Structure 1
Amino acid sequence: MNVMLDNLTTHIKKFIELHDTDVELINSVVSVKQVKKKAFLLQPDQVCRELYYVSKGCLRLYFINKKLNEQITQFAIENWWMSEYGSLESNKISNYYIQAVENSEVISISKLKLEELFEKVPRLERYFRIVQQRAFTASQKRIEYIYSMSDEERYRHFSSLFPDFIQRIPQYMLASYLGFTPQFMSKIRAKKV
């Protein structure tokens, strides 16, 4: 448990200065969770009330599209945050799932506790702003790649940026995230160009 909390603190300290009292405050409001592979942190018709920091493992955010297929919109691996922000911010029910892809260790914080923490440690707002800006930039780039690259180019680009990630994620999940079918993914991987 202490290792997980240390991971979070170390990550935050890459962006802002934290004092010992800040660390104690953070540790007092977060929850540490062991999440088994395939377990859900959020399902449709629930309101998302927490943000999740991945200390170890991998989570995915997805919805079921009109063709009744899973459409993955985001992954979170070590040192990444995940939430269903639309539901979190609006306090309305979600259409998304958050599920563990691997056995995972996550630290969660409720929106309410986070707001209280911002009052006590204002520098944390800067940390979350930086993290959110980076996540937003990555999301914009992904959309750009979907519209400007062929499926094969998108796969090659992604695999060059995240070679270890490619080995961790089941092929059908990666295909969903990149916007094509598992069959197409098999053809691309068989080429090994």
Structure 2
Amino acid sequence: MYEPLLKHLARFIRITESEREILISNLRYKKVDKKGYLLKQGQICSGNFFVLSGCVRMFTITANGTEQIVQFGITGWWISDYHSFENNVPSDYYIQAVEDSEIAIITRSVCDDLFQQIPQLNNYFRKMMQRAYVASLKKIELLLCTSAEDRFHQFTTDFPEFVQRIPQYMLASFLGFTPEFLSMLRAKNKSVNNS
């Protein structure tokens, strides 16, 4: 059941068989139906969530009442509200399944013990945080320094299978424009590709 997580770990660190057993015994498994929640705004985030299968999104509701997606998590990705998780404060975000998903959870209650029992996990999560930080900077750069059309082309080039997988309005929210604008871009691309 946890094979995708164990394979992901093996790409970055080596753990012993006994450490692997300790990790597995401390993980929680959760099946989340499409549109089900791992976290709702106002709750304290109690876990680091690894997507074993499926797709989830992290979003907030803006002052004008629209959803703003800040992150997706697909198979093999971690997702969490780390501010809420680390500081034990209510979250500003929702984490919701975009499709039926299976999640491995490391809860706050076992996190520190796991890091002591499996020191290599510290290295692993440091690497994951570094990767997340780089991805965040890249997204900020795209939002601030490129046109909406260039953002769309960059994202569809980098993640073509992902673009086909998520609803259009969610892609638009993530990229920072309206679904109508995204429809216009797709129509424009289609006409260019057909000429």
TM-score w.r.t. the length of structure 2 is: 0.96
Q: Residues 122-178 of structure 1, C-alpha deviation per residue, up to 9 Å, x if partnerless?
A: 111000110111011001000001011100000000000000000001000000000
Aligned-pair distance for 1:86? 1.1
Q: Does 1:62 align with 2:73?
A: no
Partner of 1:34: 31
Give the SS at the match of 1:92: coil
Q: How do 1:5-154 and structure 2 match up within 5 A? A: 5-154=2-151
Aligned-pair distance for 1:112? 2.5
State the identity as a percent: 46
Q: CA RMSD in A?
A: 0.7
Partner of 2:163: 166
Give the SS at the match of 1:103: strand
Partner of 1:184: 181
The size of the alignment, in residue pairs, is: 190
Aligned-pair distance for 1:34? 1.0
Long gaps (5+) in structure 1: none
Aligned-pair distance for 1:8? 0.8
Aligned-pair distance for 1:90? 1.1
TM-score w.r.t. the length of structure 1 is: 0.97
Distance 1:16 1:104 in 2: 26
